[in-house]
Structures are given as C-alpha cells and as structure tokens.
Structure 1
Amino acid sequence: MLYTGRTLKRLRLFAGMKQSHVAELLQVTQTTVSRWEAGILTPSESQQRALERLFAKVPSTADAALKRLVETSTARVHLICDHSHRLLAASSARRMEWRRDLLGAPMFRYASEDIRKAEGDLAELGWHEARIASLVVETGPNGRDDVPIVAGRVLWERIPLADGATGRLVTTLM
C-alpha cells in the first residue's frame, strides 16, 4: 500500500503518535516524517513496508476505548507500553501534575530509584509471563521539577493490547 501524506498523518494521529516517535521507530528524522505527511517526499519501498508494519498496529476499537477511558478518568492514572515505557494515554489530572505533553515519550527516564528497583524485580515476580496481573509499588520521589514523582504508592496493572503488546495501567493510590 502506498501511503499518501494525508493517510500517513491520519494513521499517526489515530495511533496517538508524534512525528518524532514515528521517526525514531523507522530510524529517520522527524523532518523526513513531516515531509512525507506534507507530500514533499515519498517513503522508499522499504520505508513503506516499515510503515505498513507500524500502522498495522493502529489501536483497535477496544484500545481506542481504553485510551479514552484513561484520558477522561478523574483519577491520577496513565497507560504506558509495558515494553518501551512510552506513554500511550494519561488522565487530565496526571497531565496537570506533569505540566507538559508527554504522549509517545519514553517515561522510564523520569522514574525514581524505587520505581527502577520495582521494574528490575518484575522478571523475578513473573510479570512478563503474566504470573501476576497487578502490583502495588512504592514510588519514592524522583527529585525532578520537569516531571515530578512524589513519594507514594501506585498500582501497576497489566493490560493486553490488540496488537499483542502489553500495556501497564499506572494508578496513584495515595
């Protein structure tokens, strides 16, 4: 399938991805993705195949509903890709807490030491093999002003996504 600029932009927006995220996944620059969407450049044959693979994973109706539920929640909650830690959705309360748009951004760089330790313990607990579906984690502060995390507790819940990947719903408990 040959993606037109308009189609590419529509698929990217529906997937909730930034141009920079598409660029990173396809190992091109954000400017290249922008030029594809504007119709100035046409992706090569191999890039077209990579785009097809990428957008074959466009969220299903169930994934879109999950994203909408997270975004309209009154709780402090967000959804990340369990593998890449990229932000897939966030409630308005969470976005206000962060004071910036992080959709598509990898979130692990903002993790506190307690969160990093909990992440390191997941394999031993059987998280990735789905032996456990949820876990309460002590967050500890991350000491950052840009995306602050305060000491507290969050609930991590594994959620299967339509493309076979796993999402992690993160809900602040206190």
Structure 2
Amino acid sequence: MHYSGRALKRLRLMRGIKQSHVAELLGVTQATISRWETGVLMPAEDQRAALERLFAPPAFAADAAIKRLVETSAARVHLICDHSHRLLAASPARRKEWRRDMLGTPMFRYASEGIQQAEAKLQDLGWYDGETTSLVVETGPNGCDDVPILAGSVLWERIPLSDGAMGRLVTTLG
C-alpha cells in the first residue's frame, strides 16, 4: 500500500502519534517525517513497509482499545513506551495529578530516585528478555511541582504494542 503525504499525516493524527514518535520508531528524524507528510520527500521501500506495519488497521484497533481502557480508567494509571518512556495514554485521575498535558512527552526526566534505581535493575531482572513482565516499584517522591510523584508503590506491567515496541502500564497501588 502507498500512503500519500496527506494520508500519512491523517493516519498519524487519527492515532494521536506525534511526528517525533513516528521518527523514533522508524529510525529517522522528525524533519524526515515532516517532509514525507508534505510530499517533499518519499519514504524508501523499507520505510514504506515500516509505515504500513505501524498504521495497519487490525493492530491499531488493539492499541486503540488499550488506550481507551487507560483513558477511561478510574485508577491512577498511565501507559508509556517501555523504550523511550514517552507517555502514550493516562487516566483522568493521573492527568489531574499533573499540572500540564504530557501526551508524547518522555517521562523519565520526572522519575524519582526510587524509579531511577528500579529502572537501572530491569536488565538484570530479565525485563527486556520477557522473563519478568510485572514488577512492584517503590517510587519515593520526585519533588517536582508540575509532574509530582509521591512516595508509594506502583505496578509496572510490560505489554506488547502493535508497532513491535513494548509498552509499560504504570498503576499506582493502594
């Protein structure tokens, strides 16, 4: 299938994905995605195949369902890309805690010391090899006013996304 620049942009916007995230997933720059969308540049054959996988309707339906469940959950929960830590979805309770819109933002810069320590241990725990798919983490406070993290426990759950990346569902416990 061939996507025109306008069609590519429409698909990306319908799915709520930023150009920078598509660029990250495809290993190109954000400027390249912009040039594809304006028709100034055409993706190479392997890039077109990657775009088709990224925007394939059946896979999108599963991600849309996950996003909808997160965004309508009464729990304090959010979903990030496990690799880039970009925010993919957040529940109303979680969004209320944060003082600004965070969708598409890399969240690791707001991590508390406890979260950073837990992140550093993931490789040894087999997180990236699929040996461990859930983990309870003691957060500790981050001292940040606009995106506060309070001391407490969260459950990290690793889930596959349609683009081949892994997501991390983060749920506050208690």
SS across alignment from 1:56:
helix
Instruction: Go from structure 1 to structure 2 and tell me whether the alpha carbon gap of 1:130 and 1:22 turns closer, same or farther (over 3 Å shift).
Output: closer
Instruction: Go from structure 1 to structure 2 and tell me whether the alpha carbon gap of 1:19 and 1:165 turns closer, same or farther (over 3 Å shift).
Output: closer
1:52-103, Cα deviation, whole Å (9 max, x unpaired): 5245313521111111000000100001111111111110111111122111
Unpaired stretches in structure 1, ≥5 consecutive residues = none
Aligned residues, how many? 168
- Length-normalised TM-score, structure 1: 0.84
Instruction: Go from structure 1 to structure 2 and tell me whether the alpha carbon gap of 1:17 and 1:48 turns closer, same or farther (over 3 Å shift).
Output: farther
Corresponding residue for residue 65 of structure 1: 65
Corresponding residue for residue 4 of structure 1: 5
1:90-101 matched pairs, under 5 angstroms: 90-101=90-101
| 1:137 aligned onto 2:137 | yes
Corresponding residue for residue 42 of structure 1: 39
Unpaired stretches in structure 2, ≥5 consecutive residues = none
SS across alignment from 1:128:
coil
CA RMSD of aligned residues (A): 2.4
SS across alignment from 2:84:
coil
1: distance between equivalents of 2:168 and 2:21? 19
Corresponding residue for residue 85 of structure 1: 85
Tell me the percent identity: 63
Corresponding residue for residue 115 of structure 1: 115
Instruction: Go from structure 1 to structure 2 and tell me whether the alpha carbon gap of 1:161 and 1:152 turns closer, same or farther (over 3 Å shift).
Output: same
CA drift of 1:157 comes to 0.6
Partners of 1:80 and 1:168 within 8 A in 2: yes
SS across alignment from 1:60:
helix
Instruction: Go from structure 1 to structure 2 and tell me whether the alpha carbon gap of 1:133 and 1:77 turns closer, same or farther (over 3 Å shift).
Output: same
Instruction: Go from structure 1 to structure 2 and tell me whether the alpha carbon gap of 1:15 and 1:48 turns closer, same or farther (over 3 Å shift).
Output: farther
SS across alignment from 1:151:
coil
1: distance between equivalents of 2:146 and 2:70? 22
1: distance between equivalents of 2:10 and 2:42? 20
Partners of 2:20 and 2:29 within 8 A in 1: no
SS across alignment from 2:70:
helix
CA drift of 1:43 comes to 3.5
Runs of 4+ deviating beyond 3 Å: 19-26, 46-52
